[in-house]
Amino acid sequence: METSNEKSIGSLIHLSTLSQYLIPFGNYLFPLLLWSSKKEKSAFIDYTGKQALNFQLSMLLYSLIALVIAIPTCLYWFINIIERLEISDQQVTVREIITAENISGMVILGIVAVIIALFLKLGEFFLIIYASFKSANGEYYHYPLTINFIK
């Protein structure tokens, strides 16, 4: 049975990952500080800290993969459009640029990767809130799609 203090710290570990929206790398620093200061005293806090950090590292990896796919494909499409515009030497509207023949499979792949990255961030936000509620109730919560970097 977890004490009230352990539940509060567990919930705070999860919620501290939201600091990423205010402080760069706060989603790694604050949970790491809270977890490392209390992990020897409580198995619940140890588990919670590992889960929060593993989830943040997993989301970083998934986001990087999505961006590695999205950025080059969109840049490739953009450079091809610019080259076509330089050849024609005409004033071209956006409607003429975005046509079915100009949008390739690579562009669609890039757009899908950007959409996936956005859904990852949105899902991350709601899962963090959910995990903090579970921790506040003393439940051991395991994030979905998490790679166990810290065991």
Spatial neighbors of 151 by CB under 8 A, at least 6 apart, are 50
Closest to 31 (Cα-Cα) out of 115, 150, 137, 134: 150
Mean pLDDT of 127-136: 94
Most confident of 30-44, 65-79, 103-117: 30-44
pLDDT, the chain, mean: 85
Residue 86 confidence (pLDDT) above 70: no
pLDDT at 85: 67
Whether the Cβ atoms of residue 64 and residue 121 lie closer than 8 Å to each other: no
pLDDT at 82: 73
pLDDT at 75: 81
pLDDT at 135: 92
pLDDT at 103: 67
**pTM (two decimals):** 0.80
pLDDT at 89: 59
What is the b/e burial string over 118-136, where b = at least 16 CB atoms within 10 angstroms of the residue's CB? eebeeebeebbeebbebbb
Tell me the per-residue pLDDT of 59-80, one tens digit each, with 9 for 90 and over.
999 988 888 888 888 787 777 7
Most confident of 3-12, 81-90, 108-117: 3-12
Torsion angle in degrees (nearest 10) through CA of 45, 128, 138, 57 = -30
Place 92 in a pLDDT band, splitting at 50, 70 and 90: low
Q: Where are the domains positioned within the chain?
A: 4-136
Which residue type, as a one-letter code, is found at position 67?
L
| Alpha carbon of residue 151 to chain centroid | 21
pLDDT at 63: 87
Mean pLDDT of 24-31: 90
Residue found by looking up tokens 């004033």 in the block: 91
Residue 58 confidence (pLDDT) above 90: yes
Closest to 83 (Cα-Cα) out of 68, 72, 99, 97: 97
